[in-house]
Structure 1
Amino acid sequence: MDKKSVLRILPFALFMGFIGIEEGVRFLRDHGLLSLTDRDLLFLYPIKAGLVGLVLILLAKSYDEIRLRDFARVGHTAISIISGLGIFLLWINMDWGFATLGDPQGFNPDAIADDGMRTFMVATRLAGAVLVVPVMEELFWRSFLLRYVIDSDFSKIDIGRFTWPSFLIITVLFGLEHNYYLAGMMAGAAFNALLYHTRSIAQCILSHAVANLALGIYVLQSGQWRFW
């Protein structure tokens, strides 16, 4: 695997690796091999988001497909924002039981008694969801894997090139990454479509960030922690 591939896989793999660690810790705890509470596990998120964010910053110069000048195209930027809000609205209405993997518990800040620590954890969660996850995921799914499915030498494939196999494969896999898998497939299809229209990873990151920010605000206002 070449360097360009590794650089786009690494942040995503690190993030998913932490999720694996969390599940492993829960398994050990549930079998009496560790004495930890769900509250203790909450503190893994700041470490996860912080490390992945640091990796993205250190490797930022390698991601030349993220072009901030793309935001100067006002029409595309407006579509990105509107699509992000639309994805959010659909997401919170697609939490059907048959479309859910497992039993999502989400992040409930009420489990943290200390006000200062609770504020820190909420801020960390929002920052991770808005500033880290969209960059990490769009680099992996839309920049790397969507093109890799077309050709293993993905860098020679133009950003936003459409093929049915790549569209369908990434839509399904992106959905299966989430507990609400049908909502995830909807979002994956929407982000793919946005990429085909704008030819911009930056616009996909913006749309993803808007969707996650809207979801975060909704969760904090409604207490629907399962969406977090």
Structure 2
Amino acid sequence: MPLNLPAPATLQRVAPFAAFMAILMLRGAAPQDDRWGFDTRWLYGLSLPVVGGLLVYWWRQYGELARQNLTDLRETLEAVAVGLIVCVLWVLLDAPWMQLGQAAAGFVPLDADGQLIWPLVAVRWAGAALLVPVMEELFWRSWLMRWLQQPAFAALAPQDVGLRAIVLSTFVFMLAHTLWLAAIVAGLAYALLYRRTGKLWSAVIAHAVTNGALGIWVVATRQWQFW
């Protein structure tokens, strides 16, 4: 029986996300002490060469991220504004009833004396602000949202995505996050921005601003539960 392999466009959007989730699961399963002989918080750093490497390898296949599909000034400013608003709401929407369980693994980049481990902070921030927005928008919006509208998603314009696909993809996006209400707000914001502009870069920029600003706030306030 022949194997039904995923189409190249699907594989190119799903594989980086799957690799990232596998790394997070490894971090969640790793001991928080030195039983493995090293600081397991550095496992997060695997996402940079592994996931980043996959994105670089397939970069020319991501037509939506080609230079001609970059946002103009107005679209960029709009994406930045959306990203900042989502960041603020993400911090505010953290009441106990707005949470789905506990995060798989906490990320506290402090040494035994309570001092910041800046290389660890840099790796975590770079992953969240530079890598995750590209990887996740390719998966959640470029692939899943459009695929839910029609399996031949690559030929579907973002403006043709219907409400059902937006809601369903946002629901699955929510399940992947502890702060479920904040995730709904973020998922809808990025999806509607992508649908309205027709440019994935709008969603990527908004997502990057949210994660980047949130990372700065987390380090400044030491509210590690948001990381």
Task: Say how many residue pairs are matched.
Answer: 221
The whole-number CA distance in structure 1 between the counterparts of 2:163 and 2:71 is 30
Instruction: Name the counterpart of 2:206.
Output: 207
Displacement after TM superposition at 1:58 (Å):
1.5
Instruction: Name the counterpart of 2:13.
Output: 8
Matched to 1:173, the amino acid is V
- Unpaired runs of 5+ residues, structure 1, are none
Asked whether the equivalents of residues 160 and 200 of structure 1 are also in contact (C-alpha less than 8 Å), the reply is: no
Matched to 2:108, the amino acid is N
For 1:185-196, list aligned pairs within 5 A. Answer: 185-196=184-195
Distance 1:97 1:76, change over 3 A: same
Distance 1:69 1:113, change over 3 A: farther
Displacement after TM superposition at 1:123 (Å):
0.7
Instruction: Name the counterpart of 1:110.
Output: 110
- Unpaired runs of 5+ residues, structure 2, are 1-5
Matched to 1:110, the amino acid is L
Instruction: Name the counterpart of 1:129.
Output: 128
Asked whether the equivalents of residues 27 and 44 of structure 2 are also in contact (C-alpha less than 8 Å), the reply is: no
Asked whether the equivalents of residues 129 and 213 of structure 1 are also in contact (C-alpha less than 8 Å), the reply is: yes
SS of corresponding position for 1:210: helix
The whole-number CA distance in structure 1 between the counterparts of 2:110 and 2:68 is 41
Instruction: Name the counterpart of 2:3.
Output: none
Displacement after TM superposition at 1:23 (Å):
2.9
Displacement after TM superposition at 1:111 (Å):
3.5
Q: 12-21 vs 64-73, which deviates more?
A: 64-73
- 1:65-112 CA-to-partner distances (Å, cap 9, x unmatched) read 113444452211111000000000000000111111223463211136
Instruction: Percent identity, please.
Output: 32
The whole-number CA distance in structure 2 between the counterparts of 1:132 and 1:112 is 29
The whole-number CA distance in structure 1 between the counterparts of 2:180 and 2:78 is 24
Matched to 1:111, the amino acid is D
Instruction: Name the counterpart of 2:89.
Output: 90
Q: 186-195 vs 61-70, which deviates more?
A: 61-70
Matched to 2:7, the amino acid is D
